[in-house]
């Protein structure tokens, strides 16, 4: 009997034993610690005669600036663009630019031009000069007409300028005649950002007209891939060649299409003259002569 009473008392004492409260680590979401940190920060800044919320305001401005740039799709911004977005001017604008660069959110492209660190490379390349568009081998890669991954981006524009390095890629600019400056479209490349890229037909035509920026063999392979995958409209390409006005490009296109089983002589025949042009301008002028297209076949396609 006594043993049973003792067991009951011991069990009651165990059930009634107060539980030790768990201590929250410093820096957790405990309201007490949060209030203590905030009040200490505010009191310290007020004793120094400073605005206690200055860093919070700056952070909000920076986030709002990035949000607006994303919504506008701005890849490259001038100082005046940043001034209109932020509402800053003078020393305040310079301080803002310095702070954004120090944080790594904003990068300097060249004097007076900046870009967001997250901006896609294609959007940056086609926004440095306006108007301009990405063409040649990089455009063929974007159009899924080649498996090559070029490290160089060639941008066609109406004026020439030195190349720049962006994100480990060299962006080169090629001046093109206004009469040949057509055949481009804007496409989304990431988020709210857009890039101006040559159409599949125009990228091939540019490559055939200027073999220095894209080998003729790569253009021929792109035509073959486009014909097999129905990514290329040969009738549109032939009409575009007539509008482009380059006899050498038209003859190269006609010869390559003929080797792939597509006869374009009825359309491109008027562009053929008596002069023999090289199939690939970058190779030695040695090879058989094609009398129909007036080409020196100095490379096997």
| Sign (positive or negative) of CA dihedral 62, 63, 68, 73 | positive
Residue 95 to residue 211: CA distance in whole angstroms: 47
Q: What is the pLDDT of residue 5?
A: 44
Is residue 56 domain-shared with residue 184, that is, in the same domain?
no
Q: Characterize the bridge pairing of strands 76-78 and 295-297.
A: unpaired
Is residue 140 domain-shared with residue 111, that is, in the same domain?
no
Is residue 257 domain-shared with residue 196, that is, in the same domain?
yes
Is residue 217 domain-shared with residue 133, that is, in the same domain?
yes
Is residue 75 domain-shared with residue 186, that is, in the same domain?
no
CATH number for position 243: 3.30.460
User: pTM value?
Assistant: 0.75
> To which H or E segment does residue 172 belong?
strand 169-175
Residue 195 lies in a domain: yes
Q: What sections of 112-199 are H helices per DSSP?
A: 121-125, 136-142
Q: What is the pLDDT of residue 63?
A: 80
Q: What is the pLDDT of residue 44?
A: 59
**DSSP of 84-137, one letter per residue?**
HHH---THHHHHHHHHHHHHTSEEEEETTEEEETT--HHHHHTTSSSSEEEEHH
Is residue 132 domain-shared with residue 228, that is, in the same domain?
yes
> What is the tally of structural domains in the chain?
2
Which residue range forms the structural domain that includes residue 84?
48-116
pLDDT tens sequence for the chain (301 residues): 444 444 544 444 444 544 544 444 444 445 555 556 555 655 555 565 555 444 444 455 778 888 888 887 788 888 888 888 887 778 888 888 888 888 888 888 888 888 888 888 999 999 999 899 999 999 999 999 998 888 899 999 999 999 998 878 899 999 999 999 999 999 988 778 889 999 999 999 999 999 889 999 999 999 999 999 888 999 999 999 999 999 999 999 999 999 999 999 999 999 999 999 999 988 889 999 999 999 999 988 7
Q: Which of residues 92, 116, 140 is at a domain's end?
A: 116
Residue 292 to residue 162: CA distance in whole angstroms: 40
Cβ-contact 270, 241 below 8 angstroms? no
Q: ω into residue 131 within 30 of 0, thus cis?
A: yes
Cβ-contact 232, 226 below 8 angstroms? yes
Q: What sections of the chain are H helices per DSSP?
A: 2-15, 31-47, 54-72, 79-86, 91-103, 121-125, 136-142, 200-209, 216-228, 234-244, 247-259, 265-268
Is residue 185 domain-shared with residue 68, that is, in the same domain?
no
């Amino acid at each position: 009997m006594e043993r049973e009473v003792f067991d009951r008392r011991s069990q009651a004492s165990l059930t009634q034993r107060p539980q030790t409260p768990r201590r929250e680590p410093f820096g957790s979401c405990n309201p007490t610690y949060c209030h203590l940190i905030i009040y200490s920060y505010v009191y310290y800044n007020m004793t120094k005669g400073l605005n206690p919320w200055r860093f919070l305001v700056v952070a909000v401005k920076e986030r709002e600036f990035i949000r607006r740039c994303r919504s506008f799709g701005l890849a490259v911004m001038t100082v005046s663009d940043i001034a209109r977005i932020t509402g800053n001017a003078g020393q305040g604008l310079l301080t803002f630019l310095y702070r954004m660069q120090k944080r790594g959110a904003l990068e300097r492209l060249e004097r007076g031009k900046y870009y967001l660190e997250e901006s896609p490379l294609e959007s940056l390349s086609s926004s440095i000069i306006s108007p301009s568009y990405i063409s040649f081998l990089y455009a063929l890669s974007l159009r899924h007409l080649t498996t090559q991954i070029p490290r160089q981006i060639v941008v066609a524009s109406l004026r020439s300028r030195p190349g720049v390095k962006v994100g480990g890629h060299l962006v080169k600019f090629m001046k093109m005649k206004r009469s040949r400056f057509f055949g481009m479209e804007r496409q989304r490349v990431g988020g709210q950002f857009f890039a101006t890229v040559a159409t599949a037909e125009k990228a091939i035509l540019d490559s055939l007209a200027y073999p220095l920026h894209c080998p003729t063999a790569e253009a021929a392979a792109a035509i073959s891939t486009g014909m097999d995958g129905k990514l290329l409209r040969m009738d549109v390409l032939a009409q575009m060649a007539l509008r482009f006005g380059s006899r050498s490009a038209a003859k190269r296109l006609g010869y390559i299409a003929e080797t792939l089983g597509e006869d374009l002589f009825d359309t491109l025949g008027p562009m053929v003259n008596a002069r023999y042009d090289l199939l690939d301008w970058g190779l030695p002028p040695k090879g058989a002569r094609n009398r129909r297209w007036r080409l020196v076949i100095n490379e096997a396609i």
